[in-house]
Chains A and B, each alone.
Chain A
């Protein structure tokens, strides 16, 4: 597995707070090809701390690609150039000795930088709080096997539900649109029988908050799908758009 260390130049975005102006700072590192990119930053930070300097602020948690906490733009790609992985799963064996890496935070109007590489993504949660649920309380629900759901439907719902809420789709989009993220949640419930009673109300409330939070609109560039660490398909956006249009007709019916 392991071979010789790689010598790399890192250009890392530094920014003290959301109010201040940021810029790139250069670092030289020597790193094992078996280390992940975040382990490389750990080592760099340890070195900086030892020298009494401020370490590079970046977020991560599970380091298994499932929690959605980490998210860096590496050489222009959210989560790096390797498809279908999160930043924490990017290993240094994918880089060449002597390479220069540009490491930046996710950039979007709705994601203000808090410090260095950390951004605030609470806009995404606000969208989910507007309707990303089935309105039931604890208890008093039917037996789990009372409802038959075909393997295909369940599997499609699962494809959508795999979204880790990292925001790479927003960072990848030139309009900073959150349509893939929202479409995935809308689709999960729209596909399942449990989601039917609130199906059209849900999509309207979620889309309304999405617009409020400053996320842009979708112009079908497919950049979101290409950068999504979980390979969430843009058919989820189509499904959401369809429901959104139907919802409009339905609410007109109700108004009349």
Chain B
């Protein structure tokens, strides 16, 4: 049985992290080179952690399934990164960022972790600027800021519409420096498929070499996972084609508790579906909501073209319902409102799309200003849809985007497996039931640059783990396990392709474990997922060889894991008899249709311990709010 101990340090919230850092054990500089650390994933969290640990003097082995570290999906983040710099002098502070993030997460996150996130946010901006990240600037030469959803201050730093790209390239440049100093060895085209535990501690990983198909063993004294979220369980999401939950799921099955799997974020501004062959959904940055106005026709089945619909026949529903936040209402609320008006039949052409209209902003500021701010996003839109958004309003609809749930970690970002640390989107730590815009980049880099380098060091200094030989029986056993699974997948030789089954799973998840959930639907979803899982193991076809570059085999392994994870998401959603943030249970809503939390019974983190496929032990970490008052989230 696992035990959840959040290890939140004593003392006032503003002193916790400082005191904790002082109390941690240190590894002296000469001894650091005696420790090997594995970091899986080279996105913002992984690259920044690997670079920082390497710079401290540890030997780091970094892993990515891409051909290069720079491809990780952090690269696609568009809008920006938050920090409590208060450069615009509009009343921001560490405490306000902390408050906004906890409130934005609908009071389902751990206060101490969120406070630390807000506290180190300013260091991140300093670090990135020093690396040469070309953030947007004002004419005077100072950094520029813009606004994002869920905040009434401008605290978002950005680099055109490619903030994620520039931050990742910054982190990768730091990683490249450590590679040149031989403190980091980067293993590309390796997919982690198993964790190796020796005496219950994380001591290594098993990877498949994606070019040769060889199953490889790597040993270390601590393992750091920064492998992202699981939105691709929905098949269609804004995630990249290769983003997957496999590394996280495999460690879950070896003892790492999985927390709040039902907290998924459906992003309000994505391009609507075009057809059956669609492979992914494309995000349009939330920053567009700074100047774009969201509306639908007032009457159902409006036949007129958008530019022919006069003001009085339009419903700017976010501005109407949430006058103080308007088009910048948080993501969960904006998404649900879009679903609501489309369900009423007022979507574009009666379908699933709403308008995002820039004509007011263009009239007010001129097309040139809009072009400077959003030019590349407008181009992306036109490339995909063939329509010019300067002339015709964009059509948008919500899509799965980010998962707040993830592997459970304590204050040190250590999972329930000792020596296994989880960073970035892969953990459940900071966003509660809903993440605010521009906070994912902040969290990934906070974990990697400023938290893990201390806490992983503390683990090594306290435990002084020995290096284990890769021929140790536990390594051989894990290697065989992976090998058997590969052989099993190849041996089924059925008649259903991996994509076919994945698409079916995606439809179940979207319809029943998506933007709105209810008891009946969730129960059905669990049954349907189980049937589909059986179907997969009986009838999937995976062509080709295991000892070769085999992309179908890669996808098959990932879908096999989604078929287990999807069930846990539904189970967690069924268990949580309240609505909060991205988890909206239709049975629990106010008269106005807003999420109705139940703080008496559900102010806890649900952490699931794996027993066997389809069976979990539930655990609870009660959330205590000592600094903020639990309040109904209001954006009116």
| Beta-carbon contacts under 8 Å, A1-57 to B | 1-2, 17, 31-32, 34-36, 38-40, 42-43, 45-46, 48-50, 52-55, 57
Q: Report the minimum CB–CB distance from B400 to chain A (whole Å).
A: 15
Chain A 128-166 interface 0/1 with B at a Cβ cutoff of 8 Å (1 = within): 111111111111011111011111001101100110110
Residues of B within 8 A of A132 (CB): 173, 176
Q: How far is the CA of A13 from the CA of B130 in the complex (A)?
A: 44
Q: How far is the CA of A189 from the CA of B132 in the complex (A)?
A: 7
* 9 closest cross-chain pairs (CB), A and B: A148-B141, A133-B173, A141-B130, A137-B55, A158-B134, A138-B52, A144-B129, A61-B240, A157-B134
Q: How far is the CA of A162 from the CA of B75 in the complex (A)?
A: 11
Chain A 56-85 interface 0/1 with B at a Cβ cutoff of 8 Å (1 = within): 010111111111110000000000000011
Whether the Cβ atoms of B386 and A1 lie closer than 8 Å is yes
A114-B549, A134-B131, A194-B130 in contact; A148/B142 too (CB < 8 A)?
Answer: yes
Whether the Cβ atoms of A122 and B76 lie closer than 8 Å is no
Whether the Cβ atoms of A62 and B240 lie closer than 8 Å is yes
Q: Report the minimum CB–CB distance from A231 to chain B (whole Å).
A: 10
Instruction: Name 13 interchain pairs, CB-CB below 8 A, sorted by A.
Output: A66-B162, A67-B71, A68-B70, A69-B66, A85-B383, A118-B549, A122-B67, A125-B70, A135-B177, A144-B135, A151-B138, A158-B134, A189-B132
- Interface assignment of B28: CB less than 8 Å from any CB of chain A: no
- Interface assignment of B143: CB less than 8 Å from any CB of chain A: yes
Apart from A67-B240, A134-B132, A151-B141, 8 more pairs, CB < 8 Å: A1-B385, A43-B277, A55-B543, A57-B549, A66-B75, A66-B76, A120-B67, A129-B179
Whether the Cβ atoms of B449 and A138 lie closer than 8 Å is yes
A46-B500, A151-B141 in contact; A136/B159 too (CB < 8 A)?
Answer: no
| Chain A, residue nearest B503 (CB) | A46
Whether the Cβ atoms of B499 and A158 lie closer than 8 Å is no
Whether the Cβ atoms of A121 and B132 lie closer than 8 Å is no
- Interface assignment of A89: CB less than 8 Å from any CB of chain B: yes
Residues of A within 8 A of B140 (CB): 148
- Interface assignment of B630: CB less than 8 Å from any CB of chain A: no
Residues of A within 8 A of B497 (CB): 46, 49-50
Whether the Cβ atoms of B499 and A65 lie closer than 8 Å is no
- Interface assignment of A91: CB less than 8 Å from any CB of chain B: yes
Whether the Cβ atoms of A194 and B129 lie closer than 8 Å is yes
- Interface assignment of A124: CB less than 8 Å from any CB of chain B: yes
Q: How far is the CA of A84 from the CA of B380 in the complex (A)?
A: 10
A67-B71, A118-B549 in contact; A50/B174 too (CB < 8 A)?
Answer: no
- Interface assignment of B274: CB less than 8 Å from any CB of chain A: yes
- Interface assignment of B331: CB less than 8 Å from any CB of chain A: no
- Interface assignment of A214: CB less than 8 Å from any CB of chain B: no
Contact of B143 among A46, A49, A145 (CB under 8 A): A145
Residues of B within 8 A of A42 (CB): 277, 279, 499
- Interface assignment of A192: CB less than 8 Å from any CB of chain B: yes
Whether the Cβ atoms of A133 and B176 lie closer than 8 Å is yes
Q: How far is the CA of A60 from the CA of B541 in the complex (A)?
A: 22
Q: How far is the CA of A18 from the CA of B486 in the complex (A)?
A: 24
Residues of A within 8 A of B498 (CB): 49
Residues of B within 8 A of A36 (CB): 279
Q: Report the minimum CB–CB distance from A230 to chain B (whole Å).
A: 9
A-B CB pair tally, cutoff 8 Å: 219
Q: Report the minimum CB–CB distance from A165 to chain B (whole Å).
A: 6
| Chain A, residue nearest B140 (CB) | A148
| Chain B, residue nearest A53 (CB) | B543
- Interface assignment of A93: CB less than 8 Å from any CB of chain B: yes
Chain B 60-92 interface 0/1 with A at a Cβ cutoff of 8 Å (1 = within): 000000111111110110000000010100000
Q: Report the minimum CB–CB distance from B157 to chain A (whole Å).
A: 8
Q: How far is the CA of A115 from the CA of B551 in the complex (A)?
A: 11
Residues of B within 8 A of A53 (CB): 543
| Chain B, residue nearest A68 (CB) | B71
| Chain B, residue nearest A85 (CB) | B383
- Interface assignment of B126: CB less than 8 Å from any CB of chain A: yes
Q: How far is the CA of A188 from the CA of B76 in the complex (A)?
A: 20
Residues of B within 8 A of A158 (CB): 134, 159-160, 166
Interface residues of B (CB under 8 A from A): 48, 51-52, 55-56, 66-73, 75-76, 85, 87, 123, 125-132, 134-143, 159-160, 162, 165-166, 169, 172-174, 176-177, 179-180, 188, 211, 240-242, 274-275, 277-280, 282-283, 379-380, 383-387, 449-450, 453, 493, 495, 497-500, 541, 543-544, 548-549, 551-552
Whether the Cβ atoms of B176 and A62 lie closer than 8 Å is no
Interface residues of A (CB under 8 A from B): 1-2, 17, 31-32, 34-36, 38-40, 42-43, 45-46, 48-50, 52-55, 57, 59-69, 84-85, 89, 91, 93, 114-115, 118, 120-122, 124-125, 128-139, 141-145, 147-151, 154-155, 157-158, 161-162, 164-165, 188-189, 192, 194-195
Q: How far is the CA of A55 from the CA of B551 in the complex (A)?
A: 9
Whether the Cβ atoms of B499 and A93 lie closer than 8 Å is no
Q: How far is the CA of A12 from the CA of B215 in the complex (A)?
A: 30
Decide if the interface of chain A is mainly helix, strand, loop or mixed: loop
Residues of B within 8 A of A118 (CB): 549
Whether the Cβ atoms of B241 and A50 lie closer than 8 Å is no
Whether the Cβ atoms of B127 and A141 lie closer than 8 Å is yes
Whether the Cβ atoms of B132 and A165 lie closer than 8 Å is no
Q: Report the minimum CB–CB distance from A237 to chain B (whole Å).
A: 19
Whether the Cβ atoms of A35 and B541 lie closer than 8 Å is no
A1-B386, A38-B279, A158-B134 in contact; A65/B180 too (CB < 8 A)?
Answer: no
Contact of A157 among B127, B132, B385 (CB under 8 A): B132
Residues of A within 8 A of B70 (CB): 67-68, 125, 165
Whether the Cβ atoms of B131 and A136 lie closer than 8 Å is yes
Whether the Cβ atoms of B275 and A32 lie closer than 8 Å is yes
Whether the Cβ atoms of B51 and A138 lie closer than 8 Å is yes
Contact of B274 among A2, A46, A52 (CB under 8 A): A2
Q: How far is the CA of A89 from the CA of B541 in the complex (A)?
A: 29
Contact of A62 among B75, B127, B128, B551 (CB under 8 A): B75
Q: How far is the CA of A86 from the CA of B493 in the complex (A)?
A: 35
Residues of A within 8 A of B162 (CB): 66, 162
Contact of B76 among A39, A52, A62, A133 (CB under 8 A): A62
Q: Report the minimum CB–CB distance from A163 to chain B (whole Å).
A: 9
Whether the Cβ atoms of B132 and A65 lie closer than 8 Å is no
Residues of B within 8 A of A137 (CB): 52, 55-56
| Chain A, residue nearest B173 (CB) | A133
Q: Report the minimum CB–CB distance from A71 to chain B (whole Å).
A: 11
Q: How far is the CA of A70 from the CA of B383 in the complex (A)?
A: 17
Q: How far is the CA of A125 from the CA of B64 in the complex (A)?
A: 14
Q: Report the minimum CB–CB distance from B549 to chain A (whole Å).
A: 5
Q: Report the minimum CB–CB distance from B266 to chain A (whole Å).
A: 18
| Chain A, residue nearest B540 (CB) | A49
| Chain A, residue nearest B395 (CB) | A1
Residues of B within 8 A of A114 (CB): 211, 549
Whether the Cβ atoms of B135 and A154 lie closer than 8 Å is yes
A62-B240, A138-B453, A151-B139 in contact; A192/B126 too (CB < 8 A)?
Answer: no
Max chain B C-beta neighbours (<10 A), residue from A35, A49, A50: A49
Residues of A within 8 A of B278 (CB): 35, 39
| Chain A, residue nearest B177 (CB) | A133
Q: Report the minimum CB–CB distance from A68 to chain B (whole Å).
A: 7
Residues of B within 8 A of A69 (CB): 66-67, 71
Residues of B within 8 A of A124 (CB): 68
Residues of A within 8 A of B493 (CB): 52
A39-B278, A194-B129 in contact; A144/B134 too (CB < 8 A)?
Answer: no
